[in-house]
Amino acid sequence: MNARHAETSAPGIDPIASRWSPRSFATEHSLPEGALRGVFEAARWAPSASNTQPWRFIIARRGGEAFAKIEAALLGFNQQWAGRAAALVVNVAETVSAEGKAQRWAEYDLGQAVATYSLQARAEGLYAHQMGGFNADALRSEFGLTEHQVPVSVTAIGAIGDPEQLTEALREREVAPRTRMELDDIVLLNE
């Protein structure tokens, strides 16, 4: 079995079993405008509390000004690899509705939308790597986000690349077998 394919304790759909977060993206791969339509259509149909759909996305393809702004806001080792992805996406939670009502579940709902689009990306032959290491204030400033538009994560999307392009430390992580806690360790009660 491929070291990157999840060894599951029960059968699952392939986009889940084959989903992982690479750092090696193919720099020769690009995503023309419209290529991610299916990915974000999947996000559009994710579940949300009271159907509020409190997710917003800043989609930037490599080579553009918006991509450069997002890449510059990445922190630490994320800057070493994420710029090779075909697209960077800022995942934004709308924490207050248009009527001024707090949307308590906005970040949770955004997470569901991101998970849904990540699986759709995998089904379309793409990979997505979500990151928390970024400067949220820089993204707010660069893209004119309001105080109620919270940048929660950034996702790199693209085709898989050669791990040899990575530093030794990142390459080791890239090719290591995937691990997860056992199912019995994450289920607190199952009566």
Give domain limits for the chain.
36-175
Q: If one looks up domain 36-175 in CATH, what number appears?
A: 3.40.109.10
Q: Please choose, from the candidates 122, 70, 68, 62, the residue with its C-alpha nearest in 3D space to the C-alpha of residue 91.
A: 70
Q: Where are the alpha helices (DSSP H) in the chain?
A: 14-17, 37-44, 65-73, 78-81, 106-123, 136-143, 168-175, 183-186
Cα 183 from chain centre: 24
Determine contact, residues 151/84, Cβ cutoff 8 Å: no
Kind and range of the H or E element at 92? strand 87-94
Query: Given this model, what pLDDT does residue 2 score?
Result: 45
- What does the pLDDT look like over 126-169, one tens digit per residue? 999 999 999 999 999 999 999 999 999 999 999 999 999 998 98
Is 149 or 180 the better-scoring residue by pLDDT? 149
Is 157 in a helix, a strand, or coil? strand
